[in-house]
């Protein structure tokens, strides 16, 4: 079985996603993971988000509970979304690194674009804006697609 994995790896490659492809994937999703540093160690947590776009600005808005880890995080953060297709050994990832800042619920940006609805709606009244400094993405491609009903699904 080890040889099969090695063969599959030699037939696969990574390709960079364009900034436009990264933004399109951000548009199509609403759940990601934010990476913060807490007590000197990294911590990654799932969050709901909404992409907010204007002529001169692109940012993510996150709604969370006041006083929690994300609300107290340092301003420098990372954010990631991804998609994985194990049966075809394919996937993609978009990473943002930037600055997290607090905004008021009546901020013009929220009013104009209607902020995200948290899946946990009660007590989620802290609004954060992630302004990306860097947006990158990668896609893992497979040279040959395996049949979707691969025998490994039945073992």
- pLDDT band of residue 90 (cuts 50, 70, 90) is confident
Q: What was the pLDDT predicted at 9? A: 44
Q: Specify the pairing of strand 12-16 against strand 126-142.
A: antiparallel
pLDDT at residue 123 in the model: 66
- The pLDDT of residue 5: 45
How far apart, in whole angstroms, are the C-alpha atoms of residue 16 and residue 27? 18
Q: Tell me: pLDDT of 8 over 80.
A: no
- What does pTM read for this prediction? 0.76
Task: Tell me the backbone φ, ψ of residue 27, rounded to 5 degrees.
Answer: -65, -35
Domains of the chain: residue spans and CATH: 2-142 (2.30.110.10)
HSE of 70, CA atoms in CB hemisphere, 13 A: 26
Q: Where are the alpha helices (DSSP H) in 11-144?
A: 19-28, 108-113
Averaged over 97-116, what is the pLDDT? 71
Residues 110 and 152: beta-carbon distance below 8 Å = no
pLDDT tens-digit readout, 31-63 = 999 999 988 899 999 998 989 887 788 999 888
CB-count burial class (<10 Å; 0-12, 13-18, 19+) for 35: middle
Identify the pLDDT of residue 115: 47
15 or 125, greater pLDDT = 15
């Amino acid at each position: 079985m080890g040889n099969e994995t090695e063969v599959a790896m030699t037939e696969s490659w990574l390709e960079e996603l364009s900034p436009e492809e990264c933004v399109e994937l951000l548009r199509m999703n609403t759940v990601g993971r934010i990476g913060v540093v807490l007590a000197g160690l990294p911590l990654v947590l799932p969050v709901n988000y909404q992409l907010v776009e204007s002529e001169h600005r692109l940012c993510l808005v996150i709604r969370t509970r006041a006083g929690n880890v994300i609300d107290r995080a340092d301003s420098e953060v990372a954010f990631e979304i991804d998609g994985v297709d194990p049966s075809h050994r394919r996937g993609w990832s978009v990473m943002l690194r930037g600055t997290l800042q607090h905004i008021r619920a009546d901020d013009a940006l929220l009013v104009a674009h209607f902020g995200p609805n948290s899946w946990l709606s009660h007590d989620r009244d802290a609004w954060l804006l992630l302004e990306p400094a860097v947006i990158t993405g990668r896609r893992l491609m497979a040279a040959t697609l395996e049949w979707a009903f691969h025998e490994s699904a039945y073992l």
